[in-house]
Structures are given as structure tokens and as C-alpha cells.
Amino acid sequence: MKWLLIGIIVAATTAGEVLQAAGMRRHGEIRDFRPGAIGRALAVLARNRFVIAAVAAMAVSFFAYLGLLTIADLSFAVPATAITYVLETVLAKYVLKEHVNWLRWAGASLVICGVALVSL
Amino acid sequence: MTHEHARLRLKTWSFAVVVVFCNVFGNFFLKRGMPAELATPLAYITVLFHPWVALGVVLLIVWLMMRMALLSWADLSYVVPVTAVGYVLVAVVGKVLLNEQITMKRWTGIGLIVAGVALVSGGSAPQTAHPEPKTAEATP
């Protein structure tokens, strides 16, 4: 059960974040943070199909995470889901076409090792 | 151009700080309010009205929105490792609020995360993928 939930969380989180990044990048930089402008931006984003798919995926991930927390400690949940860092960096390069230079790879690798050590 | 880079970097850092705090405290309150088990599907809904869980959920909604805004200009491969500094904050919150011990292993992990975050944030601009042209949204 634990590992099934972990699998769901990892898949849904990775898909959700990549879709979210793709959708937001298509929307363009948000510069105006007055309440009215935020409302308008949300109205536009609510029709962005990448964002809609991202929110759906992240809702799945959220409820699976709630379920996981009832049967496992954070010290299990956190490192087990840290694999999303690797998947997201790889997908950022190949799907989102970001320029992942060697400092980013090195930094992301250190972070993954660090997350594992902190939470295991 | 350098002015534009500096503006984007400052904006990215400010948002990253808020994103990290909302995430860490959102999860903290969520865990604090969660009951031992959620027996029925309905329990997954009713638990959202528990005060600590509700506070956690509100913080996580703010986290989600701020993170979406951040991703409207910053790379995913920048945001993901940089916001991992939250794990360091989790350890600190655990020590300060819950009196948890920070073992040698955890200190090592904290060191690695901080080094990783420094490499990513110091070694690359927040934005490398070239954004689409601006949308119709007017800028003041």
C-alpha cells in the first residue's frame, strides 16, 4: 500500500509540475500582483489546458500524500518521493527545453543526496 | 540587459523564500492536524475542516499559487532544486518546535542541500528557456 501510494505520488507530482511549468511559461511572466490582476490572471489560467491538467495531477498527488501520511511518517514519505527531483530535471531538459548546465546537474544531484540523508 | 537579469533574480529569490515558507509550514500544520487514519472516502473531505488541517491547506494553496507565478518566468530545473532548501527548514523547525535531534547524518544532508542550492542559484540564471512573447496582459 505504501509503495503503491509512493508510485502514484511520484508519477502525479512529476506530471503535474512539468505540465504546470509548461502552462505557466506559455502564459508568460506574471508582473502585476494587485488583487484584480491576480483574479484576471487566474481566469486566463483556468482556461489553460496545461494548467488544468497540472491541477488535476497535483490533486491526485495531494490526496495520495494525505493517505500516505496516515500510514507512514514524514521521514519515510519525504525521501521516498525525492526521486521526483531527478525525473523533473530530466524532463525540464528534454520536454521543456531548458538549458540545464553542469552546475544545475551538480546542484540537483547534491540536493537529492542531501534530501535522502536528511530524511532517511 | 544586466538590469533585467538583476530584476528577475531578485524577484525569483523573493518568491522562492515565500514558496519555501508556505510549503514547510503548510505541511507542518497538515501533519499536526491529521488523525491516525482516514477510514472512509468521506473522511478525506471532512478532515479538511479540522483547524490545523485547514490552516495547512490554506498555506499550501498560497504555496501553489506563488509557485505557479514563479514558474511563469523561472525554469523548472532551477525552481525544483532551489526550493529544496525547504528540507533544511523542516529540520530546523523540527529541532526548534518539536525538539527533534539533528544527527550527524542529517547535518551532512543539510550541508549537501545548501551546497546544491548554492550551485544552482549561483551558477545559472533563473531563466534559460526563452519565453513566448508577452501575452495581451497589460503591464503597468
Number of separate domains in chain B: 1
Q: For residue B125, what pLDDT is reported?
A: 83
Residue at B53 is within a domain: yes
Distance in angstroms (rounded) separating the CA atoms of residues A41 and A36: 9
8 Å CB contact of B132 and A25:
yes
**B54 within domain boundaries:** yes
The full length of chain B comes to 140
Residue B139 lies in a domain: no
Q: Nearest residue on chain B to A23, judged by CA atoms?
A: B72
Which carries the bigger pLDDT value, residue A86 or residue A57? A57
Q: Report how many domains make up chain A.
A: 1
- Residues of B with CB below 8 A from A113's CB? 109, 112
Residue B91 lies in a domain: yes
Range of the domain at A68: 2-119
B68 and A28 within 8 Å at the Cβ level: the answer is: no
Q: Are B63 and B19 in contact (CB under 8 A)?
A: yes
Nearest CB among B68, B123, B133 relative to A101 is that of B123
For residues A86-104, give the mean pLDDT. 91
Low-confidence ranges of chain B (pLDDT < 70): 1, 129-140
- DSSP H stretches of helix in chain B: 2-33, 41-46, 51-71, 76-82, 85-98, 104-123
Examine residue B140 and state whether it is found in any structural domain, yes or no: no
For residue B86, the enclosing domain spans: 2-123
- B106 vs A contacts (CB less than 8 Å): 117-118
Write the secondary structure of chain A as one string of H (helix), E (strand) and C (coil).
CHHHHHHHHHHHHHHHHHHHHHHHHHHCCCCCCCHHHHHHHHHHHCCCHHHHHHHHHHHHHHHHHHHHHHHCCHHHHHHHHCCHHHHHHHHHHHCCCCCCCHHHHHHHHHHHHHHHHHHC
Whether residue A80 has pLDDT greater than 90: no
B134 in any annotated domain: no
Contact B112 A29 (CB under 8 A): no
Asked if A47 is an interface residue toward chain B (Cβ–Cβ < 8 A), one would say no
Residues 63-92 of A with CB under 8 A from B: 63, 66-67, 69-71, 74, 78, 85, 88-89, 91-92
Q: What percent of chain A has pLDDT over 90?
A: 52
- The answer, yes or no, to whether residue A103 has pLDDT greater than 50, is yes
pTM of the predicted model as reported, rounded to 2 decimal places: 0.82
Closest by Cβ to A41, choosing from B37, B115, B137: B137
